[in-house]
Structure 1
């Protein structure tokens, strides 16, 4: 196991499991996102995406919340700064955050969020950029931009309408509706809910299951699912054909077929 620690983020790679974990680490302010955390997040997400030993990435937060939103106190201090300085600071914060969520979406490996406490502001966009979401029964979700006189970022306005539909997305964004974990599950924002004390283990269980599977096939399947949002039907059929054909010469395909014929569990080299 290797860990890279900063004041605001932990990046841990469990090499024997093929699982990496990004942990937001500003518990005293409910993991509010500031410039340093955004920069560290972008760096860690990019590292996980480019590391062939990482088969699955998990996102969590220390303390009582996953991410309570942007760092409002830092924003308040910026109000007295010159306009150019204020704009530059916020632009860099957004750019790092967007670099991170882009890495989450584009990496050909599953990304799992373990959500406890509050996921608000950029925490919503980050949650939506993950492929699977396990939530504590105490988790709450809220856009939280309108009351601050600003607009969503972190990819939320792209992912949310596609996930819940335009009417529900408008309600969540414009009326700033606060969702319980159960409501988020019903809307499809969350995949499963578990009791708060079991969240860490439930998230690790999902990660281990994926890490033990066919990593290349999982990554390609993820890519196909996201391509479907951009392709017409014929384009998607072509992408499916190309992806399937690219898999048939792989060791994963040979092992999966052989294991099926031999009536045993496939071994894909990690577990």
Structure 2
């Protein structure tokens, strides 16, 4: 097993468990797709973590080198991985990633599919692709420019410059840097799962990235009205007012 998944208290716990840098081979890509498909209506937040000293070093180059039909093999790997990323980015549930150690190649794609990223102080970030002569995959050419801007994204993707956790925070690649990312991310995912408007908020922000201001105002008006008349919305306002009395 390369990927473990379980759902507890509305949080889908998805964990890379290959170890030794968690390189993405075909089995891991398929495992991520299966885990993404497990995120149904009962999931209100997703927590993405990894075992071992590093989060994800990218593709499994040893497996790639041993493949008889490398082109076909890479297509199968990227098809599964990209389908998983499509699901993660379309989920209404917020996705929280905890990263540590090395984050490279497709690992950046997993980070890009998350909504909030908690990085350990030892985390480092590098594209990796220039070192092997490959162009990027895993949605990196889409997510990275949106996170750090096109100039910084091209710098990272063309020069292979490595970022420390502090540099990644300053660039906007991660949300926060803490001594131990796993526990902080787990606490955050649990908190988000308990907030009834988290999904609506994520949906609005994602829509706003490509929609017009006028449409966004209309969508916000519908969403806040929908939330206000829901049982959770009514209870939230009542609880807030009770605290003020």
How far the C-alpha of 1:199 sits from its partner, in A, is 2.2
Give the match for residue 36 of structure 1: 27
SS at match of 1:88: helix
What stretches of structure 1 of length at least 5 have no aligned partner?
1-6, 265-271
Which of 233, 236, 239 pairs up with 1:256?
Answer: 236
1: CA distance between counterparts of 2:191 and 2:162?
Answer: 32
User: Would you identify which runs of 4 or more consecutive aligned residues in structure 1 move more than 4 Å?
Assistant: none
Give the match for residue 60 of structure 2: 71
SS at match of 2:243: coil
Which of 3, 19, 23 pairs up with 1:9?
Answer: 3
| TM-score normalised according to structure 2 size | 0.96
1: CA distance between counterparts of 2:215 and 2:192?
Answer: 28
Q: Over aligned residues, Cα RMSD in angstroms?
A: 1.3
Which of 15, 21, 26 pairs up with 2:18?
Answer: 26
1: CA distance between counterparts of 2:79 and 2:178?
Answer: 33
The reply to whether residue 199 of structure 1 matches residue 199 of structure 2 is: no
1: CA distance between counterparts of 2:231 and 2:143?
Answer: 34
Which of 201, 211, 220 pairs up with 2:193?
Answer: 211
Give the match for residue 156 of structure 1: 140
1: CA distance between counterparts of 2:102 and 2:43?
Answer: 27
What stretches of structure 2 of length at least 5 have no aligned partner?
none
The reply to whether residue 119 of structure 1 matches residue 111 of structure 2 is: no
| TM-score normalised according to structure 1 size | 0.87
